[in-house]
Each structure stands twice: as structure tokens, then as C-alpha cells.
Amino acid sequence: MKQMSELVKLLHQRLQEAARPQPGRERISVPLTLQQRSSLLPWLAAQPIFPQFYWRQRDDKEEAAVCGEVVRFNDAASARQFLISNDVGNMRIWGLNTFDQVEAPSADRPKSALFLPRIEMLRDADGARLVVNLYSETSLADDVALAQQSLKLLTAGEPLAPLNVKINAVHHQPEKQGWCDLLDQALEAISQGQFEKVVLARQSTLSLNAPLNPAAFLNASAAVNHHCFHFMMRMDRETAFLGSSPECLFLRMGRSLTTEALAGTVASSPDNQEAKRLGDWLMRDKKNQHENLLVVDDICQRLQGGILAIDVLPAEIVRLRKVQHLRRCIHADLAKIDDADSLQRLQPTAAVAGLPREPARQFILQFEPFTRGWYAGSAGYLSLNQTEFAVSLRSALIEGNNIHLYAGAGIVAESDPQQEWLEIENKAAGLRTLLEREDW
């Protein structure tokens, strides 16, 4: 990477040119050269500026490391309105949305943790660059002074150390018997016609012998969990929510929206022939195909009224390190561009909540023994030109010496509690095994 001191000096000069006493917004960018791909996470980990957000797209065409907060938003609608008012096509607002987007937000329980960052380091098809965002409703010169203070704190990144922690204790919410009891309740509700499907989850709290470095943990995950979105929202030095998710909530480019139904699961294997055998079984299994088609139907219904056309592609197998999924991609032409509306329509999806969504959501809120928060919500960004959010699955909340891992399973009439427990064990293993030094 080009010397950080040189880049900062150049940005200071550009900031002075933008310093004026009137309100306004600016986006100042300088190009940089990266020594290697995916080197932004170590850089972000070295910065003393919070909040931080890291994003690496599933196909690795984009990577972003951003820090510092210019403007904060508690819901996607206010973030979208800010973008419209300021009319900067490539300005992005980054962050998280909670699982439950239905209830009205409050000061202590916002729907979202979205922010316009002060500093961005970006890599995409146009190359790499360092960006400073400016915004003020009174004096841009005052905000330039704040930006210069942030620039003085920037430092060069260092290689992330390998994970070196041990698990002292593990506590599940619910434990296995509680899980079986919860599924029996769900199956009874399904038999009574309350809903067709509900997605139930487990929170596993791992107590460690030392604080866990969130960036090092995500770096280890990205090295082995391929074909995933990798994201991290770091609130302060000890607290972060992160994940390696295989599922796209939606990608909007102009008026074109792409989403997917990722539902139906079987174990994976490091042996290619065994993985193919399991994948072939998944393609033929009626229970998993039914589960996937329920999600497809729900997405299509939820988009109605906001689209001009829709197309569902044939099913395919997504092979991950520990599990394989059924996926059907869905393309739609939007009647109008409104990312907050798309978020409201699609989240929570049937793949993380159930069908019909409202009674399934109410069952989760009433009977699940923990609050999901950011888990099964979404992570990504909004902008005028395009917006992309991943479903925040295969995720973890790090709080000092504790890490909370999350995994869920779709429950339908044919579900077996023991098999569903095995499924969430396999899903959670995608992150847990990083702390257990397993090879695959």
C-alpha cells in the first residue's frame, strides 16, 4: 500500500480546498495501490477510530473498510432520504439492520445501525482509493477541521495475528432438550394451522480464556468460508458483530433487483464425491424442495405491488465448508427505486422467520429464549446507484472474552428435532471450528 503519510498529506491539501463557511457535503478521493488483494481488514483493525465496518462481497469484486461517523441513522428510510437530499450517486451508507424490522424504532432499540463514515478505503473494479466524507448543515469548514483530526489518527495496517484463544465453557440457548421441546411446540402449532413454517435459532455463548480480536476472527473465517459475504460492524475495541454469510438479501442496480431463496440444507464434506452425493440427495429430497419453494413463493408475493416483472431461475446447489444449500435466484424489475421499501418487503425472509411471516415472527418473539438483534437481520450498504445487503447469518457477537454464535433451522411439518439439532450444529461449526483448530 502506498505510504499512509503521503496519502494523508494529499488529503489534507484537498480538504483545505473544500473548507468553506457554508453548509454542504463533499466526497474527496485519492487513488492508492494495494500490495495484495483483501488487505483492507488488517488496515481497519489497526485504526483507533470507531465505529468501523468491513465488507467483502461474495464474489470478491468489492471490498470496503470504513471508520468514523459523520451522520448516524436508526432506520433505512432516514438513510435513504439523506442520500436523496444530498444527491451523491456513489456515496454509501454502511451498517446493520435488525432481524425484526416490523416494530417502530426507538432510541434504545433502533431498527438499524447505519452510518455515513468519515473515512473509507475501497477496492472494486475501478481500483483502490482512500475517501473522506464531509457533511455539515452549518459550516463545511467546521467539518473539515473534524476530518483533519481523524486523518491525524490514521496508521498503516499490520498483519493480523493468528487466533490464539481457548474455549473454557459453552452454553446454548436453548440446550438440546429445550430445543426439542421448542420444536415440539412449533410442530404442534403447525399441525393446528397457525403457520406452515417457522425458523428457530440457537445462541451459543463460548467463554474464552482471553479477549478475541474480531478482525483476526473474521480473517480466519474468510480464509476458509468461501463464496460468502464477509462483514464486521465494530462498535468499539471489545464489541463487534460479524459474519460470513452465504445469502444475499438483495442487490439493486438501478431498477433491477436480484434476491434469492436459500433454504434446504444438508451436510457438506471435504471429499468431492461425498459432497456431490449429498448435494444430489438434497436436489431430490421433497421436504427440502418444499421448504425452498415456500420461500420462493413468499418472496414473489412480498414483491408484488412494487415490481413490473419477476423471473425465478432453476434450483442449484450451493456448497459451503460445513453445509450445502438449495438456492433459487430471483430477478425483478422495480416499479420505483426505494431501498427502504425493498428492505421492509424482504426482511425478515421466510428463510429466517417462517411462513406466513407474521404468525411465525410472533412465535419466535414469544418462545425463542434469546433476542436475535442483528442476527438474521442484514449487513451491507445503501446508495443511490446501487444497494446490497447480505442476510446476517453464520454470524457472531463478540463481547470481550465471550463470543455468541448463532444458527437456525427451518421447521416444517416433516421436521425431526434431532435432525434439526444436527443441522444447527453443522451451521454453527462454520465459525466455531475456527477456535478449535480444525482443518476443514
CA 260-262-264 angle, to 5 degrees, is 150
Tens digits of per-residue pLDDT, 16-46? 988 999 999 999 999 988 876 657 999 999 9
Residue 234 contacts residue 51 (beta carbons within 8 Å): yes
Q: What is the DSSP string of 213-261?
A: -HHHHHHHHHHHS-SSEEEEEE-SSSEEEEEEE--EEEEEETTEEEEEE
Q: What is the mean pLDDT of residues 335-345?
A: 95
CA pseudo-torsion sign 266, 268, 271, 276: positive
Cell numbers at residue 374, please? Answer: 442483528
Residues that constitute the known binding site for Mg(2+): 291, 423
Q: Cα dist. 299→13, 146, 249, 255, 343 in Å? A: 49, 44, 11, 17, 12
pLDDT (average), residues 297-326: 94
The pLDDT score that the predictor gives to residue 106 is: 56
pLDDT at 103: 59
- DSSP summary character for residue 211: -
Residue corresponding to grid cell 491525524: 152
- What are 206-265's pLDDT values in tens digits? 999 999 999 999 999 999 999 999 999 999 998 999 999 999 999 999 999 999 999 889
Q: Is the pLDDT of residue 422 over 70?
A: yes
Helix (H) or strand (E) holding 405: strand 402-411
What predicted TM-score, i.e. pTM, was given to this entire model?
0.94
Query: Residue 439: pLDDT band by 50, 70, 90 thresholds?
Result: very low
List of domains in the chain = 4-153 (no CATH), 167-435 (3.60.120.10)
Catalytic residues: 197, 247
